[in-house]
Chains A and B, each alone.
Chain A
Amino acid sequence: MVKIGLEVHVHITALKTKLFCSCPSDYTGKDPNTVTCPVCLGLPGAIPVLNENAVKYGILTALALNCQIAEKLIFDRKHYFYPDMSKNYQISQYDGPGSMAIAKDGYIKLNDKIIRIRRINIEEDPAKIVYPTGSILTSKYTLLDYNRSGTPLLEIVTEPDLRSAKEARFFLEKLRSILEHLGVCDCGIEGAMKADVNISVKGGERVEVKNVGSPKDVEDAINYEIARQRASILQGIKIERETRHWDNERRVTVPLRTKETEEDYRYFPDPDLPPYSITPELIEKFKREMPELPDQRAERFVKQYNVTPYQAQVLVNEKALADLFEEITNNYKNYAKVANLLINDYMRWLNENNITVTQSKAKANHIIELFEYLDSGLISIKIVKELLPEMILTGKTPGQLIKEKGMTNIKDENYLERIIDEVLNEEKEAVEKAKRDPKVVNYLVGMVMKKTGKRADPQMTVEIIKKKLGLT
């Protein structure tokens, strides 16, 4: 049996400032070390002060993950020396004597399976280490960027309840969707959600893989680890406790360090941060502010739009996709058609090309326009599928693209008859078959499509062929 547990680190992108100072938490595009102050640089004498909005997002997450919420928010110092640390301790939380995490003992339902959440911490992110050559091995020196230092994180730790790579991926996708629906995290931002993965196979010790970026990467890393660990055990090599690193380029895990002993972090409550009281009234207030979560939204989709439960689940799995669906169906009422297109064509193409829904430039009104062209018979479904990728990449409207490419359906009866006559001449054998077996008509239609670059109006083409073969 495989046991998998996850430690997920989520940037609370909803917070506009860092966790313990007033520096902006969004430093996109800023020069290194320009978004800093005495507090996040750990200068002598600087004192952290809690950004109280963090409490809200911690509690919303705890409620959504069905956790028990602590009565006090207590921050602990977690001590270890490392170059990315501004104080050589991280302000985090600790579930132990004299301290507590903001929440613990929760769960996420994955279909009908319960994945237990051990605890949720609020903590600060360290600075970013930059290796000038890109590799720790070949760099002569290390650069540090403190813009990230002190930005707010949630750490969400599961029990080892996951049993496969696929399950771990589904879990992360669901967690991501929950966090997006809560507004805690805009997980589309690079590095906004990362996971440390703990994996053990039968007969081996627990191996930790650090810093894996996306649900897909987590799936790949786990598959790689399971195969590696099983192969080792088969060869009689022991799997010891160790920490490994996910090499995103080579898609393999590499050893980082062996864990001979548990590291002693010397936790103790940060004396600069007085405990913050979490009253039942406060929790009630946030309960009332709780937005619709993915499971509820999927249920509503089934009722409101008559989509299948499977479709509903796929749609809500990514908040941006569910939003897009509702934006389209607000004005275009053939719900099944929209669901099919989004799930089967739109998402597939996005996934295959590694583009997120938010990165896609095809807006709801563009897609509505696309359906309108299809319904009017101006373009075929085949053209729809051809147009989608270009809409996604360029943001051009279907109208623009059709015009540019001359992709409208050919409805000119004379022209169609001429093409069809050509086909019927060339395909004498098929014509004979078609007279006995109407299914072969489709083959003839296909040949017409080939000659017209898929532009022949399908409806008209079928009718003309049937008429000419005397099948009507």
Chain B
Amino acid sequence: MNRIMIVDLVNDLRNKNLEAEEYIERTYEKIGKYDKYINAFITIRSKEEVLKEVKESINKGGKLAGVLIAIKDNISTEGIRTTCASKMLEDYIPPYDATVIEKLKKEGAVIIGKTNMDEFAMGSTTETSYFGPTRNPWDLERTPGGSSGGSGAALAAGYVELALGSDTGGSIRAPAAYNAIFGLKPSYGTVSRFGLVAYANSLEQIGPMARNAEDLGLLFSIIAGPDERDATTINLNLNFELKERSVKNVRIGVLSDILEMSEKPVSGVIKDVVNKLSSEGALIEDTKLGNAEYALPAYYIIAMSEASSNLARYDGVRYGYSKYMEGNWREVYAKNRGEAFGMEVKRRILLGSFILSAGYYEEFYLKALKVRNLIKKNLDELFKKYDILLSPTMPILPPKIGEVINDPVRMYAMDLNTVIANLAAIPALSMPVGFYSDLPIGLQLMGKYLSDIYLINISSFIERNITKLYNLTASVKI
């Protein structure tokens, strides 16, 4: 397989081994051919505008000079509509760039478009989008995972080499696993959330999505860093030295309680990888997360509570859906919100409002915070013994479109393996490790707080020496 990395692409563009016109033409051709089926994008910018920017950017230089990037549609982009895949924000054009967008532009990246997602990032399959579901490029009958499903599919379809997603409870890693790409949920506080439309502030991070570990690391190194506009970012400069890190003598704990709750084909592929890691010298041990059964309820209680608060601002007064203007303000708000929010969003607002109301707050919310602390403590203990905790990213294979969307409990259960990292603020990376009847399976690596680069370097080793699965492009069967 031809190993083309972003550094090579940037060089080729600068040296005109690859003409900007050809690069853009090729990309728009693919999108034109496949995206009516895949529906990875909500908004695609005009080819002319993008070409112009790419050319300017190549001249200016930067680590991503001229490189196209797809941005999840809940990240604020000045002048480009940012819909959160909701009717509520269908026509909302932000007057400002998110911090991560500023950083990307400074390095020369050019936004090609905004990717599809679950409405306000609430979902695990990209089916709750107001703009219709995204389909998995590996199997158009199936979902690409979610909520950053559009970003995942755009990478798997080979439209772009880089994308941004956001991860509140697995929203980068689920699509990474289901699209056979790489995704990182960074340590909480390493990437600014300024400009990320909030779903659950205390859990979520913007994170990089790419087609190989090296590019993932490069993108992460660009978007990470403290931001005075987000007080939850940590004032610490990470060491971004990206290089393969052998797994020899790396202590790996396999989360057996999580593995046991996975579908057979999934656990089969994962066990196979574990054996190969062992033969590369990794020190493998079975272990348990502990209190795993409380993780999901605690996660959903916290996420929905914060969501109910964050989404209160959408009333159609300053921006957003405002079809109704007449009558008293209560009626106007109710009508606008009633029409513009989808079912899943309404469900979470209602549940969150209930949880925060007097009397239930202590019973649910404060208790969920206790579980969160308990899980953190469990993980602190585990990370004394292990450098990495390993599990499948998703407990099941990519579900078919429509299969789980009407069964919320089943849909929420898909997040079992991923929510742990969000609750504990630790980094978690998903990488492709195999297929089962042509459906991708992802491996999740969790590390201790701020071990993001270490995880990337380990995944780089696994990708090159064990799985040889990187830069995979689905052959879309129209």
Binding site for B on A (CB under 8 A): 38, 41-47, 49-50, 77, 79, 81-83, 86-89, 97-98, 142, 144, 146, 262, 264, 266-268, 271-274
Contact = CB atoms under 8 A, between A and B. Distances in A.
A268 B197 contact: no
B332 to A, nearest CB: 9
Contacts of A266: 308-309, 353, 356-358, 361
A106 B137 CA distance: 65
B114 interface: no
Interface in B275-309: 305-306, 308-309
B240 interface: no
Contact of B313 (A86, A264, A271, A272): A86
Contacts of B96: 38, 43, 46
B230 interface: yes
B232 interface: yes
B333 interface: yes
Contact of B231 (A44, A47, A268): A47
Contacts of B361: 97, 266-268
B132 interface: no
A272 B201 contact: yes
Contacts of B195: 45-46
A45 B312 CA distance: 13
B231 A274 contact: yes
Interface string B86-104: 0001001011101000000
Contact of B94 (A45, A49, A79, A264): A45
B193 interface: yes
B196 interface: yes
A88 B302 CA distance: 19
B95 A38 contact: yes
Nearest to B201: A271
B197 A79 contact: no
Given A38-B96, A81-B315, A89-B309, A49 B366 contact: no
Contact of A42 (B76, B228, B313): B313
B318 A44 contact: no
A47 B313 CA distance: 13
B366 to A, nearest CB: 6
Contacts of B95: 38, 43
Interface string B161-205: 000000000000000000000000000000001111110111000
In the A-B complex, list the 8 residue pairs whose CB atoms are closest, starting with the nearest.
A88-B312, A271-B202, A266-B356, A271-B201, A44-B197, A45-B76, A87-B313, A45-B195
A44 B230 contact: no
Nearest to A87: B313
Contacts, number: 107
A23 B366 CA distance: 35
* Chain B contact residues: helix, strand, loop or mixed: loop
B315 A264 contact: no
A228 to B, nearest CB: 28
A100 B47 CA distance: 54
Contacts of B58: none
B312 A81 contact: yes
A45 B198 contact: yes
B313 A88 contact: yes
Given A83-B329, A97-B362, A271-B201, A42 B318 contact: yes
B453 interface: no
B318 A272 contact: no
Contacts of B229: 47, 49
B39 interface: no
Interface residues of B, number: 47
Contact of A264 (B74, B308, B357, B365): B357
A77 B357 contact: no
Given A49-B230, A98-B366, A44 B312 contact: no
Contact of B317 (A45, A83, A274): A83
A149 to B, nearest CB: 10
A264 B193 CA distance: 29
Contacts of B193: 45, 47
Contacts of A97: 361-362, 366
B312 A273 contact: no
Nearest to B98: A45
21 contacts: A38-B95, A43-B95, A43-B319, A44-B82, A46-B195, A47-B193, A47-B194, A47-B198, A49-B228, A49-B231, A77-B309, A79-B309, A81-B312, A83-B329, A88-B312, A97-B361, A97-B366, A266-B309, A268-B356, A271-B306, A274-B232
Contact of B194 (A45, A50, A77): A45
Contacts of B3: none
B205 to A, nearest CB: 13
A44 B362 contact: no
A273 B201 CA distance: 10
A326 to B, nearest CB: 42
Contacts of B231: 47, 49-50, 272-274
Q: Taking each of B75, B309, B362, which has the highest tally of chain A beta carbons within 10 Å of its own beta carbon?
A: B309
A47 B312 contact: no
Q: Taking each of A42, A47, A98, which has the highest tally of chain B beta carbons within 10 Å of its own beta carbon?
A: A47
Contacts of B94: 38, 43-45
B280 to A, nearest CB: 40
Interface string B305-331: 110110011010111000000000110
A82 B317 CA distance: 11
Nearest to A48: B231
B31 interface: no
Nearest to A41: B318
A270 to B, nearest CB: 8
B445 interface: no
A163 B334 CA distance: 43
A186 B319 CA distance: 35
B452 to A, nearest CB: 20
A271 B369 CA distance: 12
Contact of B312 (A43, A79, A264): A79
A86 B308 CA distance: 15
B259 interface: no
A77 B311 CA distance: 13
Nearest to B334: A81
A469 B197 CA distance: 96
A45 B313 contact: no
A16 to B, nearest CB: 17
Contact of A45 (B75, B228, B309, B358): B75
B119 to A, nearest CB: 13
Contacts of B366: 97-98
